[in-house]
Structure 1
Amino acid sequence: MNILQALFFPPEQPGGVSSMIPYIQERYTKKGWDMELFSLPKRVRSKGTEEVVFQTFDWKKYAGNAIVDKYIQTYKDYVWWTRMRLKKKYDLIHAHHPIAALVMKQLFPETPVVMTIHSSYERELVLNGKIKEGGPEHVFLTSIYRELEEKVNQIVTVSVSFKQYIADYVQDPDKIGIIPNGFDEKRFRPIPHENAVPQLISVCRLVPAKGLDILLQACAELKSKGHPFVLHLIGDGPSRAELEQLAVELNIYDETIFYGYMLHPEEFMPFFDIFVLPSRAEAFGSVFAEAALCLLALVGTNVGGIAEQIENGRNGLLVPPEDPHALAHALEKLIADPSYRYALARSAGEKAKKTYSLNRVIRQMTKMYEVYKTKPAD
């Protein structure tokens, strides 16, 4: 089959999609499949001019709103770039962003398009304080799910919890498939080590949705109880200055290292002991599986896809969101008992290898793709 993987961001950008799709392409190429990657370069801005029309709702009711207008202009830019760059036909297009899916179906109406929804843009905006739930931007963005249902051939998402979330915005949620993300084990090389001082690490965009303010409060509690630690924060984002100031106010700035953006954090992770991320919401949480494959003990919040990866007390610890005391208590248990920490890390690694292997993703995707194979003429 000749398959196009239609991304939004270029594949070198951070995140669960970019951690997976290039490795999937490599595997399929080895199997003899023809697979290409396509995305919208960041430098393409305000080039598209074609009218945008959705079938299931009138987006112009929300025009004049900055977030909606930017979304529509990005859609137009994706149309412009796609028309200019894609001249050949494909047997199947697999899109990984709503804009990519809808544009591809518009420009290649006879080509089957499957769509993997990896995360919720509107939920992140709500949690980051950018929009209000039920406001015009929220209604516009959630209406896109119904448009996708109407236009594409198959919708897939990455966790049971995220399928349940989308169910409120489509007519037939039973038709939504689930293919959790997968990871190439060769990328992860656990390193035996003994750190005299426990090393905590978190990898994410520095935005309110990730709950790093809660993590810093929990670490302040650890310090007040006399527990030594170093907190490594890998990632960048609009909350960085605010978080650095909070670390100063909580008197843990000397224990906290802000690294900024790093392209391959998995090369860094194996030297640490505990991965912790108290997200307020998470569709899947690819970084937890990545940390598990590096044999780190996991601490996360009982939300979304995190709770599907971590079985509390068996391969990690779960705490409620917005609860710095509970988070501090979980971290304290792992800091105080290295044997327990190692046991959880081993269990997490075993589950990740079994459940989130790239081979499993390839099998599931191949089964989905083969539904759309062109049948030979009689």
Structure 2
Amino acid sequence: MKILLLITGLGLGGAEKVVTSLADQLFVAGHQVKIAYLRGEIEVQPQHPEIELIQLGLNSLANFSHSAQRFAQIMQQFQPDVVHAHMFHAILFARLLRRSAQIPYLICTAHSKVIGGKARQWLYRMTDRYSDVNTNVSQEATDFFIAQKAFGAAKSTAVSNGIDTQKFQFSASARQQLRSQFGFSDDTPVLIAVGRLMQAKDYPNLIQAFRLLQQTQPKAQLLIVGDGVQRAELEQQVQQLNLADQIHFLGVRHDVAELLSAADLFVLSSAWEGFGLVVAEAMSCERVVVATDCGGVKEVLGEPEWLVPPQNAEMLSKKLVQALQLSIEQKAQLGQQHRQRIQQHYSMQSMLQQWLALYHLSTERTAS
């Protein structure tokens, strides 16, 4: 089968990681796959260099005609059985070109419960007839899009993201090595948060929660992995709270699985999420997880005990203290349960099979 994956960009985000991982899985399974992206630099890409990455150059509306012609050429040359569009701008682009580019079958995937305002809601609604299948990354997000009439109910479903459980697994050697590099002892309580430094992730909430945590856990350390527009603002907040020796901004890292192993506890402080990919990655690494109850996180975690309301630093801090007070045996047992849950419900193979089932609907329709 020929599959064209279309995405807004290939920056360092959860959706981008999912799309490139999906491309790898499809390629290994014997399918022909290409990735087209609207704009931006390549910051994440598939492991297999045979998978072609094609930029459409849609940097502004002035370039729309050129980008549309480029897309039509790709369609004519590659002749995919399915076009699978990810994220709002790519979805809108594909829907608008459904007829002129002769897209045979179009699947549109949103990656968040957040629609993005009334204008986007209206555009989703007005172009919905041009997609064959709509999906979102959690049942809650899918139901919300349907309730807001951004997705038509009859052709919408939830498809969860998948985790590479071989890549994301606990490593005792990585834990020891990284703790040594950071100067942490074996009994230092280490928390970790992973994600872009942006409004959705609500790092100010996490920093305030960590400040409260310090009252009972003065030896605790916090690693923040990621970069973004709020970095300077967050670093200033940390300085003002005199926490620069306890909170460490690591920037973009490519050893996230190893860093997760080095930590005792993963924390997600987001105000909103789609699926919560990093939660699943932390669970796959057998980490204890404390998270805000947003988006599909509750579906992934499956443990309401470790969820707190968004934007509530006091409750987040209390839950972090509770998690750190677990015994070594309790943490290990909870971590093992987390990994088993990911292996059973959120593996890469499980995600691949769900997508292939939807892709094969295109051939069934052609045959009929």
Q: Rate the CA distance shift 1:226–1:24 in 2: closer, same or farther, 3 A.
A: closer
- The answer as to 2:3 corresponding to 1:3 is yes
- The answer as to 2:150 corresponding to 1:152 is no
What does residue range 58-73 of structure 1 map to in structure 2 within 5 Å?
72=61
From 291, 294, 304, the counterpart of 1:300? 291
- The answer as to 2:110 corresponding to 1:114 is no
What does residue range 167-316 of structure 1 map to in structure 2 within 5 Å?
167=146, 168-170=148-150, 172-192=152-172, 195-312=186-303
CA contact (8 A) 1:91 1:374 kept: no
Question: Number of residues paired by the alignment?
Answer: 339
Provide the rounded CA distance (Å) in 1 between the counterparts of 2:155 and 2:365: 23
Q: Between the two proteins, what is the percent identity of the paired residues?
A: 24
- The answer as to 2:323 corresponding to 1:334 is yes
Q: CA offset at residue 95 of structure 1?
A: 1.0
- The answer as to 2:345 corresponding to 1:355 is yes
Provide the rounded CA distance (Å) in 1 between the counterparts of 2:291 and 2:87: 26
CA contact (8 A) 1:210 1:280 kept: yes
Q: Rate the CA distance shift 1:115–1:226 in 2: closer, same or farther, 3 A.
A: closer
CA contact (8 A) 1:218 1:328 kept: yes
Q: CA offset at residue 110 of structure 1?
A: 4.5
SS of the counterpart of 2:245?
helix
Deviations 1:123-147 (A, max 9, x none): 4xxxxxxxxxxxxxx2211112213
SS of the counterpart of 2:362?
coil
SS of the counterpart of 1:36?
strand
Provide the rounded CA distance (Å) in 2 between the counterparts of 1:94 and 1:260: 31
Provide the rounded CA distance (Å) in 1 between the counterparts of 2:340 and 2:109: 26
SS of the counterpart of 1:206?
coil
TM-score of the superposed pair, with normalisation by structure 1: 0.81
CA RMSD of aligned residues (A): 2.7
Deviations 1:346-366 (A, max 9, x none): 221111111110111111111
- The answer as to 2:312 corresponding to 1:319 is no
CA contact (8 A) 1:98 1:148 kept: no
Provide the rounded CA distance (Å) in 2 between the counterparts of 1:313 and 1:103: 38
CA contact (8 A) 1:19 1:183 kept: no
Q: CA offset at residue 288 of structure 1?
A: 0.4
Provide the rounded CA distance (Å) in 2 between the counterparts of 1:264 and 1:79: 37
TM-score of the superposed pair, with normalisation by structure 2: 0.83
Which amino acid in 2 is paired with 1:350? Q
Q: CA offset at residue 255 of structure 1?
A: 0.1
After superposing the two structures, state which structure 1 stretch, 72-81 or 193-202, moved more: 72-81
Residue matched to 1:139: 118
CA contact (8 A) 1:229 1:255 kept: yes
- The answer as to 2:91 corresponding to 1:101 is yes
Provide the rounded CA distance (Å) in 2 between the counterparts of 1:42 and 1:151: 26
Q: CA offset at residue 78 of structure 1?
A: 4.1
**Gaps (5+ residues) in structure 1?**
49-69, 124-137
**Gaps (5+ residues) in structure 2?**
42-53, 177-185
Which amino acid in 1 is paired with 2:210? C
CA contact (8 A) 1:218 1:324 kept: yes
Deviations 1:228-278 (A, max 9, x none): 211000111111111111112222221000111224523432221111011
CA contact (8 A) 1:163 1:173 kept: no
